[in-house]
């Protein structure tokens, strides 16, 4: 990766345990037990995984802290992460579930925070969907440590599949609102949740794309400013129905590569030895913005404005695709 690559650390899996049939928790520590680099609520680490085809890749996992102590994450002895098994993915989560045991060594990148929580007195309203709860646990603990107002809405299919419930109940008490589709017989009512917010509440959302899109649409419809709504997707976006292969032409070098239906443009370029700039790989950070000279873009990011998308001169190559057969990039 050519973008501000953080330092790497070789850690040991101190504990690996299933929290439920879908989610596995891992504790990572230094071999000699020495303190690890500190982190702030919302931070993540990248973990190097081995894929079934033998390739190495990186996966992004939020760091979890449920202790409401101001110094809890300053020099931690371990990092706690939780991984949801994605059987349709490329194999990264399967590696984290099946390929790792306590005692194994793992390469990670030091923590980085693209999803920080504010420090002020305005209430933080945290909306968690499924495993998207992980960064929000740390935010809840951080807000409680500062005696700052916080409320969490935690939604999942059923209680059995929702990780960290006991920790959150203890941490948040009345400030935790639980929603299960199984008990409610319907998805989380986002409109009602927003109606209940004060005009200076800050919203933090982490969950699946369908939840994120629903919250963003509802806040935009209410005229909430961009500064009040913070979000992070919890997984690398999945394939969509109808995704097809297409050619990408690099105008400056004259090279043409074929992007497979289950591959991103970014991964295709990396596979062919290019060194594009990227960071989040989820269409959120903006780093991979690439000028486009020809072709119809299938925009899927959360970075570009509606106008920029309509103009079609730039795209986020980590997630957006081509509607037709060919794209010409100005790189
Ligand atoms: S790498 Fe973050 S938007 Fe593409």
Q: What is the pLDDT of residues 114-159, one digit of tens each?
A: 899 999 899 999 999 999 999 999 999 999 999 999 999 999 999 9
**CA atoms within 13 A of residue 20's CA, in its CB half-sphere:** 15
The CATH number assigned to the domain holding 131 equals 3.40.50.80
Same domain, 196 and 251: no
* Domain assignment of residue 321, yes or no: yes
CA 301 to ligand 1 center in whole angstroms:
8
**What's the CA gap between 248 and 232, in Å, rounded?**
28
CA 312 to ligand 1 center in whole angstroms:
17
pLDDT digit string, tens, across residues 157-202: 999 999 999 999 999 999 999 999 999 999 999 999 999 999 999 9
CA 42 to ligand 1 center in whole angstroms:
18
pLDDT(87) > 90: no
Which residue(s) pair with 8 in the sheet? 109
pLDDT(239) > 80: no
- Top mutation candidate among 114, 233, 287 for ligand 1, by most atoms within 8 Å of CB: 287
- Which residue's CA lies nearest to atom 3 of ligand 1? 283
**Res 3: pLDDT:** 47
* Domain assignment of residue 179, yes or no: yes
**Res 90: pLDDT:** 77
Closest atom of ligand 1 to 317 CA is 4
Across the beta sheet with 314-316, what order do the strands follow? 255-259, 246-250, 326-329, 289-294, 314-316
Q: Structural domain of residue 322, as residue ranges?
A: 246-329
Closest atom of ligand 1 to 280 CA is 2
**What's the CA gap between 59 and 53, in Å, rounded?**
16
Rounded to 5 degrees, φ, ψ at 298 are: -100, 90
Rounded to 5 degrees, φ, ψ at 50 are: -105, 125
Same domain, 159 and 88: no
**What's the CA gap between 239 and 298, in Å, rounded?**
13
Q: CA Rg, the chain, in Å?
A: 20
Handedness of CA 166, 169, 172, 177 (dihedral sign): positive
Q: Is 26 left (phi over 0), alpha (psi -120 to 50) or beta?
A: beta
Same domain, 220 and 153: yes
| Whole-number percent of the chain with pLDDT over 90 | 80
CA 182 to ligand 1 center in whole angstroms:
35
Same domain, 148 and 171: yes
Closest atom of ligand 1 to 286 CA is 3
Same domain, 94 and 165: no
Contacts of 60 (CB under 8 A, 6+ apart): 44, 45, 46, 47, 236, 280, 281, 282
**Res 5: pLDDT:** 55
**Res 241: pLDDT:** 77
pLDDT digit string, tens, across residues 13-59: 999 999 999 999 999 999 999 999 999 999 999 999 998 888 888 88
* Domain assignment of residue 61, yes or no: yes
Same domain, 283 and 307: yes
What is the average pLDDT across 208-222? 90
**Res 242: pLDDT:** 85
Binding-site residues, ligand 1, Cβ < 6 A? 278-281, 283-288, 301, 303, 316, 318
3-state SS string for 146-202? CCCCEEEEEEECCHHHCCCHHHHHHHHHHHEEEEEHHHHCCCCCHHHHHHCCCCCCE
Nearest to 112 by CA among 289, 286, 319, 285: 285
SS3 92: helix
CA 220 to ligand 1 center in whole angstroms:
22
**What's the CA gap between 117 and 141, in Å, rounded?**
11
Same domain, 108 and 128: no
Same domain, 223 and 259: no
- Boundary-marking domain end, from 88, 112, 136: 112
- Boundary-marking domain end, from 112, 140, 158: 112
Closest atom of ligand 1 to 281 CA is 1
Predicted confidence band of residue 1 (pLDDT cuts 50, 70, 90): very low
- Boundary-marking domain end, from 112, 147, 177: 112
Between 68 and 240, residue with greater pLDDT: 68
Same domain, 163 and 91: no
CA 191 to ligand 1 center in whole angstroms:
29
* Domain assignment of residue 39, yes or no: yes
Contacts of 271 (CB under 8 A, 6+ apart): 263
CA 278 to ligand 1 center in whole angstroms:
5
pLDDT averaged over the chain? 93
pLDDT digit string, tens, across residues 277-325: 998 888 888 999 999 999 999 999 988 988 999 999 999 999 999 999 9
Nearest to 135 by CA among 122, 117, 159: 117
Same domain, 289 and 229: no
pLDDT(204) > 50: yes
Report the chain's terminal Cα–Cα distance, integer Å.
17
CA 68 to ligand 1 center in whole angstroms:
32
* Domain assignment of residue 304, yes or no: yes
Same domain, 133 and 223: yes
Contacts of 225 (CB under 8 A, 6+ apart): none
* Domain assignment of residue 3, yes or no: no
**Res 319: pLDDT:** 93
pLDDT digit string, tens, across residues 264-280: 999 999 989 999 999 88
Overall number of domains in the chain? 3
* Domain assignment of residue 1, yes or no: no
Same domain, 207 and 270: no
The CATH number assigned to the domain holding 282 equals 3.10.20.30
Predicted confidence band of residue 237 (pLDDT cuts 50, 70, 90): low
Whether residue 310 contacts residue 285, with contact meaning beta carbons closer than 8 Å, is answered with no
The tokens describing 135, both together, are 């960064």
Handedness of CA 69, 70, 73, 78 (dihedral sign): negative
- Top mutation candidate among 44, 297, 305, 318 for ligand 1, by most atoms within 8 Å of CB: 318
Closest atom of ligand 1 to 301 CA is 3
Whether residue 82 contacts residue 24, with contact meaning beta carbons closer than 8 Å, is answered with yes
* Domain assignment of residue 240, yes or no: no
* Count of Cβ atoms closer than 10 Å to residue 133 Cβ: 30
């Amino acid at each position: 990766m050519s973008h501000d690559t953080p330092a790497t650390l070789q850690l040991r899996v101190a504990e690996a345990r299933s929290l439920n049939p879908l989610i596995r928790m891992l504790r990572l520590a230094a071999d000699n037990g020495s303190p690890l680099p500190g982190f702030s609520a919302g931070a993540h680490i990248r973990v190097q995984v081995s894929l079934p085809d033998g390739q190495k890749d990186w996966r992004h996992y939020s760091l979890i802290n449920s202790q409401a102590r101001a110094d809890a994450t300053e020099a931690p002895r371990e990092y706690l992460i939780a991984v949801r098994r994605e059987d349709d993915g490329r194999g990264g989560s399967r590696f984290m579930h099946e390929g790792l045991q306590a005692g194994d060594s793992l390469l990670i990148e030091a923590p980085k925070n693209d999803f920080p929580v504010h420090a002020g007195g305005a209430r933080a309203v945290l909306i968690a969907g499924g495993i998207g709860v992980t960064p929000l646990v740390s935010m809840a603990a951080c807000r409680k440590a500062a005696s700052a107002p916080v409320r969490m809405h935690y939604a999942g299919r059923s209680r059995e599949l929702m990780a960290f419930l006991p920790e959150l109940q203890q941490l948040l008490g009345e400030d935790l609102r639980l929603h299960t589709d199984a008990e409610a017989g319907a998805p989380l009512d986002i409109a009602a949740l927003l109606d209940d917010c004060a005009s200076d509440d800050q919203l933090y959302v982490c969950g699946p794309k369908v939840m994120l899109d629903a919250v963003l649409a509802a806040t935009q419809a209410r005229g909430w400013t961009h500064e009040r709504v913070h979000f992070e997707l919890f997984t690398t976006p999945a394939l969509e129905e109808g995704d097809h292969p297409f050619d990408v032409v690099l105008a400056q070098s004259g090279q043409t590569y074929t992007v497979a239906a289950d591959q991103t443009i970014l991964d295709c370029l990396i596979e062919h030895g290019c060194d594009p700039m990227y960071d989040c790989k989820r269409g959120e950070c903006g780093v991979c913005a690439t000028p486009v000279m020809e072709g119809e873009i299938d925009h899927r990011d959360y970075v570009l404005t509606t106008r920029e998308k309509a103009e079609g001169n730039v795209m986020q190559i980590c997630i957006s695709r081509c509607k037709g057969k060919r794209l010409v990039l100005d790189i």
